[in-house]
Amino acid sequence: MSNSLMGNMLVESVMEKAIKDKMKEQQAKQQEEERRRAARRYYEEEDEDDCDDEDLKEMLKKMREQRAKELQEAMLKKNQGFGEYREIVEEEFLPSVTKSEFSVVHFFHRDFERCKIMDKHLLAISQQHPETKFYSLNAEKAPFFVNKLQIQVLPTVCLFVNGVLKNRIVGFEEMGGRDTFETGTLAHILLRYGMIKVRKGSDDENSSDEDK
């Protein structure tokens, strides 16, 4: 058995153990948050039904309408093809990578210039690929997963499929070792690993055509 294959098996085993170690704690936190949200919704509805002040009742109605509008705008933005790239904390890591089919996680350091460059390119790619979730995680504040995933070089971009680590992009080696690589170069690497789909007119489509 090759060292590469053994390494992949070890990484997947480590992830499974990490998930078991953390999942109960995460589920308990999520359940508590859901109970709090349900309680808030219940009391808001009760307040509106019992309220005799017409001005207050109208204000509550407008608040609900505003929330509905914000949800509609968020759905519209998603349907228009805009994804998101957001920073998460260590406690959000497992729920984030396990609830989506494709997840890209950038382990970064705030003071590293190359991490800032990677951020710029991932942000641009995420806006074209809502089929994939893009996250950044401060390595200094995530020692548990830095250790479990054996992160030794920053930036490191970990690629997950259904919560299982499949590949990783370490530093800028795959982009030619240059800080001036194009967004399409990184997009083509993600495309090659099966993490994103080709979109008409996108940088990854053009890059893919050039490489053929």
Residue 119 has pLDDT above 60, yes or no: yes
pLDDT above 50 (res 17): yes
Query: What's the distance, Cα to Cα, between the start and end of the chain in Å?
Result: 32
- Rounded to the nearest 5 percent, the helix, strand and coil shares of the chain are 60, 15, 25
Query: Which residue's structure tokens are 């920053």?
Result: 154
- Amino acid letter, residue 163: G
Closest-CA residue to 126 (of 175, 92, 66, 77): 77
Cβ within 8 Å of residue 118, ≥6 positions away: 106, 108, 155, 157, 186
In the 8-state DSSP scheme, what is residue 173? Answer: G
Residue 153 CB neighbours (<10 A): 12
In this prediction, what percent of the chain has a pLDDT beyond 90?
51
Q: What are phi and psi of 130, to 5 degrees?
A: -70, -10
Tens digits of residue pLDDT in 156-183: 999 999 999 999 999 999 999 999 999 9
Q: What is the pLDDT of residue 98?
A: 93
- 125 in Cβ contact with 182 (< 8 Å): no
Strands 164-170, 156-161: pairing kind: antiparallel
pLDDT tens-digit map of 188-201: 999 999 999 986 65
Which residue has tokens 């190359």?
Answer: 114
Task: Specify the DSSP element, H or E, that contains 18.
Answer: helix 3-50
Residue 24: the pLDDT is 65
User: What is the SS3 assignment for 27?
Assistant: helix
The percent of residues above 70 in pLDDT, for the chain, comes to 66
List the one residue out of 206, 172, 209, 204 whose CA is nearest residue 190: 204
- The stretch 15-28 carries a mean pLDDT of 68
Residues in the chain, overall count = 212
Report pLDDT for 76: 53
pLDDT digits (tens, 9 = 90+) for 49-103: 555 667 777 777 778 778 777 766 665 555 444 578 999 999 999 999 998 899 9
Q: What does the pLDDT read at residue 212? A: 37
Average pLDDT score over the chain: 80
pLDDT tens digits along 178-187? 999 999 999 9
Contact 167, 196 (CB under 8 A): no
pLDDT for the residue 28: 72
Between 76 and 135, the higher pLDDT residue = 135
Inter-CA distances, 170 with 28, 118, 167, 177, 190, Å: 34, 11, 10, 10, 13
d(CA 194, CA 161) in angstroms, rounded, equals 9
| Better pLDDT: 24 or 88 | 88
